Amino acid sequence: MKYVDEFRDKERIKLLADNIRATLDPDREYRFMEVCGTHTMAIARFGLKHILPENIKLLSGPGCPVCVTPTSYIDKAASYAEMADTIIATFGDMMKVPGSRTSLEKVRSERGNVKSVYSTIDALKLASENPDKRIIFLGVGFETTAPTIAAAIKEAKTRGVSNFFVLCGHKIMPPALEALLKDKDVMLDGFILPAHVSAIIGSRPYGFISKEYNMACAITGFEPLDIMQGIYMLIKQLTDKDPKIDIQYNRVVKPSGNKLAQAILKEVFETVDSEWRGLGTIPGSGLAIRKKFSSIDAEKNFKIPPIKSTGKDKGCICGEVLKGIKTPGDCRLFGKACTPERPVGPCMVSSEGSCSAEYLYK
Amino acid sequence: MKKILLGHGSGGRLTHDLIKNLFLKNLRNAYLSNLDDSAILRIGNQEVVFTTDSYVVNPLFFPGGDIGKLSICGTVNDLSVCGAEPLYIAVSVIMEEGLDMALLGRVVSSIKKAAHNAGVKIVTGDTKVVEKGMCDKLFITTSGIGVKSRKTNLSLDRVKKGDRIIVSGAIGEHGVCILSSREGLNITSRVRSDCASVNSLVAGILKAGGIVKFMRDPTRGGLATTLNEFVDGRRFGIVLDEERIPVSSGVKGICELLGFDPLYMANEGRVVMIVSKKGADKVLKMMRRHPQARGAHIIGECVGDYKGKVCLNTSAGGLRLVKMLEGEQLPRIC
């Protein structure tokens, strides 16, 4: 298939693997974190760890939106789902995420009012098709998805749609990376930075990573050849002692990003502190709907009884996995009590989660 | 309180657990314990093969087929891959109050045509109507019987290291066709369902004799799930070559776009089989002469390592495990 097969060319991948081998120091360990869940999945699906030298360790980061969505958010969504005349519209991945007392999948089997949608526009359509119901869309995701939700919020406001609401759980990436870098348990040499988040924000917001923390960074695409080249760039930066923000994925990512998307994000959302599953509350890492659009903000419009969210599940180490401190195989629940069909932790729920990738492909 | 989830109908792990822990536990006997799509019953000197299947596909009509054709082909295929000649089919129909009569007429003529093409007779049936909202338009259950020659010995016990895996054509067409026909996705594609009866193809293959060791139709759960059923608890594994697995560009494109894996997408007119190493080329040649198997390929082999596992040499040059489908990839595809 054009524009796909070229990036999966076995010979070129092998060539890059040879270059990586020739450039690296065979006596040292290289610890790179692929921040984005789609990278984790691609690395597993194409069996890339099998091709790379053994002293390169790839660790999965906090870039899977479902994985870092806290229990309290699921609990809130489930409570909204239990209100009369309400339909919850969500991306399918959220269905199985366990909350404190239930999951959206279970609510759906009992009440039938949780619908999977493929875009916010579908959720808006649901609102116009069901004028006697209120539609609450679960706004989850990073800078990649947030602009589309911002656009839907603007559209709903302009059109005066009165039954469309968003439960906003959006997060932004740079503050989370900074929190990771400040954690002294986290040991890394470089980041494979997200492709599509960077298409929106550009490369500049990551500048502090190489400047203040001396880390190698490469904004990398999702195809096997992209990932191999990204890793080569990281090795090269470390060998040359020249940490910087390389853009491997330059067919899509510009240093200044997508200005249109940045503008709509700024117009609709403001940054707030936000809770990440496994990482705790990170200052300035979340997006909340601005006052101007509060008529669409589910939390401003519906009061639900306070929920006592329980802490993390007994034995689940997703938090440490998200920081790259532990690997899925270190968890005693992995593959036994916790499988993709009966997930305990969020890293097993999402198809982009590191536990799920490890379970499916290794 | 435990409830049935959509995932219980996926054909993957939850379905298996439900069948084992509830149905098999209560209804166990020598036939049911095999947990096969069809039961092989010994009656006098004959081997009679018996199967049943329900169809709840949404939408009812899709490029390449409809619920009527699917309900006949599915049952014909379950009998065929067990080595039987399909003969008689029973059809039961559950209709929702308010169903369009003309639509029902189209489904019935489609059933007639599919039965005629497969050379089977519809010999009995039943109809029920439920109140509006109590079922989604139309559900069909078909049961079928066929007879099997005692000479045909299809068994996983005969599989040896080096045996080849052959698939009869491009995979994932039915699953992707249904996916892109669904409302709400707004995808236009030219992918047509592979929905077809495979009895004439299989009858031809069986003429090759003992070199054909086992076969199945990889429906719900796709090729990956069927191959995992082959190796489950066995003393051999399977290694596939991603580059040799036939996938059309339409299927590839939609799977790339939506994040699906063609290995897990349903087929409704394909056969996957294990053939002896020596006989593989001969069988492949025979198959390619049949209009339904022009795109047949040898896609992998049975190995002594990786016992009970399916592995894939990826197109990128890596190696990974291929597991059984977990959870629902897409509900109500058949």
Asked if B319 has any chain A CB less than 8 Å from its own CB, the reply is: yes
Asked if A8 has any chain B CB less than 8 Å from its own CB, the reply is: yes
Instruction: Specify which residues A148 forms β-bridges with.
Output: none
Q: CA-CA distance, A132 to A134, in Å (whole number)?
A: 7
Residues A106 and A238 in one domain: no
For the beta sheet containing A190-193, the strands, ordered from the edge strand earlier in sequence to the opposite edge, are A56-63, A30-36, A190-193, A216-219, A245-247
Residue B63's pLDDT is: 95
Asked if the structure places residue A307 within a domain, the reply is no
Residue A312's pLDDT is: 54
Query: A195: closest CA among A17, A8, A2, A35?
Result: A35
CB contact (8 A) between residue B312 and residue A47: yes
Segment A276-284 shows an average pLDDT of: 90
Q: CA-CA distance, B225 to B248, in Å (whole number)?
A: 20
Q: Distances from the Cα of A259 to the Cαs of A199, A200, A254, B309, in angstroms?
A: 10, 8, 10, 49
Each residue of A317-349: pLDDT tens digit? 888 888 888 889 899 999 888 888 778 887 887
Residues A77 and A44 in one domain: no
A68 pLDDT above the threshold of 70:
yes
Q: Distances from the Cα of B137 to the Cαs of A43, A53, B9, B56, B131, in angstroms?
A: 43, 57, 19, 9, 10
Each residue of A95-123: pLDDT tens digit? 888 888 888 988 898 888 999 888 888 89
Asked if the structure places residue A310 within a domain, the reply is no
Residues A79 and A135 in one domain: yes
Residue-averaged pLDDT of chain A: 92
CB A92 within 8 A of CB A352: no
Each residue of A226-250: pLDDT tens digit? 999 999 999 999 999 999 999 999 9
Residues A270 and A163 in one domain: yes
Report residue A313's pLDDT band, with 50, 70 and 90 as the boundaries: low
Which has the minimum average pLDDT: A60-69, A253-262, A286-295, B230-239? A60-69
CB contact (8 A) between residue B6 and residue A106: no
- In chain A, residues 106-135 whose CB comes closer than 8 Å to chain B: 106, 108-110, 117-118, 122
Asked if the structure places residue A117 within a domain, the reply is yes
Report residue A311's pLDDT band, with 50, 70 and 90 as the boundaries: low
Q: CA-CA distance, B14 to A360, in Å (whole number)?
A: 16
- Name all domains of chain B by residue range, CATH numbers in brackets: 36-148 (3.30.1330.10), 156-321 (3.90.650.10)
DSSP B116-176: HHHT-EEEEEEEEEE-TTSSSSEEEEEEEEEEE-TT----GGG--TTPEEEESS-SSHHHH
| Number of domains present in the structure of chain A | 3
Residues A146 and A280 in one domain: yes
CB A22 within 8 A of CB A53: no
Chain B hits for A46, Cβ within 8 Å: 314-316, 318, 320
The CATH number linked to A148 is 3.40.50.11740
Asked if the structure places residue A252 within a domain, the reply is no
Asked if B133 has any chain A CB less than 8 Å from its own CB, the reply is: no
Asked if the structure places residue A311 within a domain, the reply is no
Kindly state the tokens that stand for B253. 């494109």
Number of A:B CB contacts under 8 A? 78
Report residue A316's pLDDT band, with 50, 70 and 90 as the boundaries: confident
Residue B234's pLDDT is: 95
Residue B1's pLDDT is: 62
B68 pLDDT above the threshold of 90:
yes
Residues A134 and A223 in one domain: no
Residues A203 and A234 in one domain: yes
CB contact (8 A) between residue B314 and residue A14: no
CB contact (8 A) between residue B14 and residue A96: no
Each residue of B256-287: pLDDT tens digit? 888 889 999 999 999 999 999 999 999 999 99
Find the residue in A nearest to B8 (Cα).
A341
> What is the nearest CA distance from A5 to chain B, expressed in angstroms?
9
> CB-side exposure of A261: number of CA atoms within 13 Å?
18
The CATH number linked to A232 is 3.40.50.11750
* Most confident listed range (A40-44, B106-110, B230-234): B106-110
What is the DSSP code (8-state) at residue B208?
T
Q: CA-CA distance, A191 to A206, in Å (whole number)?
A: 10
Asked if A204 has any chain B CB less than 8 Å from its own CB, the reply is: no
| Length in residues, chain B | 334
Chain B hits for A110, Cβ within 8 Å: 3
Segment B144-153 shows an average pLDDT of: 92
Residue-averaged pLDDT of chain B: 93
> A311-329: buried (b, 16+ CB within 10 Å) or exposed (e) per residue?
ebbeebbbbbbbbbbbbbe
Q: Which residue has the higher pLDDT, B168 or B43?
A: B168
CB contact (8 A) between residue B316 and residue A8: yes
Each residue of B178-208: pLDDT tens digit? 988 886 677 788 899 999 999 999 999 999 9
Residue B183's pLDDT is: 67
Nearest CB neighbour to A110, from listed B3, B315, B326: B3
Q: What percent of chain B has pLDDT over 70?
A: 97
Give first-to-last CA distance, chain B, whole Å: 29
Residue A339's pLDDT is: 86
What is the DSSP code (8-state) at residue B275?
E
What is the DSSP code (8-state) at residue B309?
-
Asked if A104 has any chain B CB less than 8 Å from its own CB, the reply is: no
Residues A264 and A143 in one domain: yes
Residues A40 and A136 in one domain: no
Segment A9-15 shows an average pLDDT of: 94
Asked if the structure places residue A327 within a domain, the reply is yes
Q: CA-CA distance, B218 to B166, in Å (whole number)?
A: 12
Residues A294 and A159 in one domain: yes
Residues A87 and A162 in one domain: yes
Chain A hits for B12, Cβ within 8 Å: 341
φ/ψ of residue B48, rounded to 5: -105, 130
Q: CA-CA distance, A248 to A158, in Å (whole number)?
A: 39
Residues A104 and A183 in one domain: no
CB contact (8 A) between residue B326 and residue A106: no
Report residue B77's pLDDT band, with 50, 70 and 90 as the boundaries: very high
Each residue of A129-177: pLDDT tens digit? 999 999 999 999 999 999 999 999 999 999 999 999 999 999 999 999 9
Chain A hits for B252, Cβ within 8 Å: 1, 4
* Domain residue limits at A110: 67-172+258-301
